[in-house]
Structure 1
Amino acid sequence: MDLPEQFKAVTLTHVRYRRGDQLGHFLAWISLVPVFISLGGFVSHFLFRRELQGIFFGLGLVISQLINEFIKTTVEQARPETCTLLEACDSHGWPSSHSQFVFFFATYFSLMGCKGIGFWVGLRSRWVLNLVHWCLAVVTMYSRVYLGYHTVAQVFAGAALGAVVGGSWFWVVNSVLYRYFEVIEESKLGRMLCVKDTSHIPDVLKFEYDNARAARKNTKSD
């Protein structure tokens, strides 16, 4: 039985690096940023916050991934020759899904900051957060080339596509779908799931902080 033909890896989490290569080890973890964002970020966001902006943000990432898979299966461009050692030759390389994911995320997140949506505490924190996630996006893109999973052209194609899709989806959500947020909130399903929209509140963090303290005081007074 030919094992390589019988088994297929999940490319999003299947990461290899050269033994003893400390930089490669670090970049292997960095290349898992999309997994951490998806599972640690959006799943916990839905469980504990259920913000419509966050839900549609996550939906956009899913749509972006579907677009990536469609293009990959249509173009069918092979990964670099190192894919043999990495056991990744059974999947296509153009465009890089990791690069597309992180650049979609960075673009959408930055646009949210520009519009003042989310937990923004002043202009300084906005710049710091933007710097962090753009640095992560660039390093993730670099990691895919360094580890041998993609060519430079493949990661740049993924980055460009992610930025375009991210910007386009942000426009769709905040120019078209936003007008239906109140309808979703007041729907039977929306009330059952307790989904909400706080994007109209300038400083959500301060708003929730003040209301939480006020609620505690009211509870004590009762």
Structure 2
Amino acid sequence: MADVPLASLSLTHVHYNPNDPLSFLSAWLALVPQGLCVVYVTLIWASREAEVILMFAGQMGCEALNFVLKRIIKEERPKQMLGKGYGMPSSHAQFMAYFAIYAGLFLVFRHSPVLAHSGAAFHLLARVLLALILSLGAGAVAVSRIYLNYHTPKQVLAGCGAGAVSAFAWFFITRLLRVHGWIDWTLDLDIVRWFRVRDLLVSEDLVEAGWQQWEAKRKLKQQGSSDSQLKKAK
């Protein structure tokens, strides 16, 4: 074993200049896609929401497209970077572009929770603002790949373009699946019902719905405590 050369797991291995704060920040930004994959899996397990599963399926399809494109184009990374693999298009830029655009489309056009009329406008504004923040975050990750010399500007722009096309295409496909009843049909399958998959995220604000359930439970508990104290007093 002592003569066997050791390998490096490059999943989270990022080269950066330790004397440059922007390079250090860019190294952390490079880990955002891996972090988002953890978020995806956590949300799917915790919420069992069909829309989250659909978005993740599109994300994995976008990654598969990047894998294929890199091996068709076969363009090397910048000469300053000794990283392995092809660089066209940037997988980080493509991943983040898909994530930001699909999430933004969902927040603005598909997510329509039932709210009081007075709060509907504010809720829409908040969703638009969140979509803009996601886009800025995706842009920061894309720029970090150029700053760290992992990709050329052309490779990053190509990645953003491929991610954007993937997001719009998958959002349109999932809309057709909804319109033609394929989502409802899938949710009625025994295996899907066994996993408790549901489709509430489109029409409900899950945070607000959960809060209302909690408030109702607290009121019942407080009411029960008050009734118990009255009985003791009697």
State how far apart, in whole Å, the 2-side matches of 1:118 and 1:205 are: 14
Counterpart selection for 2:43 from 37, 42, 45: 45
1:114 aligns with 2:108: yes
State how far apart, in whole Å, the 2-side matches of 1:97 and 1:132 are: 20
Residue 199 of structure 1, CA deviation? 4.2
Q: Is the 8 A contact 2:48 2:197 kept in 1?
A: yes
Q: Once superposed, what is the RMSD of the aligned Cα atoms?
A: 2.5
How many correspondences in the alignment?
214
Moved more, 184-193 or 41-50: 184-193
State how far apart, in whole Å, the 2-side matches of 1:21 and 1:112 are: 37
Distance 1:118 1:17, change over 3 A: farther
Q: Is the 8 A contact 1:112 1:118 kept in 2?
A: no
Q: Letter of the 1:103 partner, please give it.
A: A
The aligned runs of 1:114-153 (5 Å cut-off) are: 114-117=108-111, 122-153=123-154
Is there any run of 5+ residues in structure 2 with no aligned partner, and where? 114-119, 225-234
Distance 1:109 1:196, change over 3 A: same
1:57 aligns with 2:47: no
Q: Which has the larger radius of gyration?
A: 2
Match of 1:209 in 2: 211
> What is the aligned-residue identity percentage?
28
Deviation per CA, 1:5-51: give whole Å up to 9, x if none. Answer: x84653x5221101211110011101211111111x10110111010
Distance 1:101 1:200, change over 3 A: closer
Match of 2:94 in 1: 100
Deviation per CA, 1:72-127: give whole Å up to 9, x if none. Answer: 1111110001222xxx1x30000000000000001101100122427897123113
Tell me the TM-score normalised to structure 1 length: 0.86
Match of 1:186 in 2: 188
State how far apart, in whole Å, the 2-side matches of 1:15 and 1:98 are: 13
Distance 1:91 1:200, change over 3 A: closer
The aligned runs of 1:166-185 (5 Å cut-off) are: 166-176=167-177, 179-185=181-187
State how far apart, in whole Å, the 2-side matches of 1:200 and 1:117 are: 5
Q: Letter of the 2:92 partner, please give it.
A: H
Residue 174 of structure 1, CA deviation? 1.8
Distance 1:132 1:17, change over 3 A: same
Residue 176 of structure 2 aligns to a residue whose secondary structure is: helix
Match of 2:116 in 1: none
Distance 1:200 1:68, change over 3 A: closer
Distance 1:72 1:53, change over 3 A: same
Residue 176 of structure 1, CA deviation? 2.2
Q: Letter of the 2:176 partner, please give it.
A: S
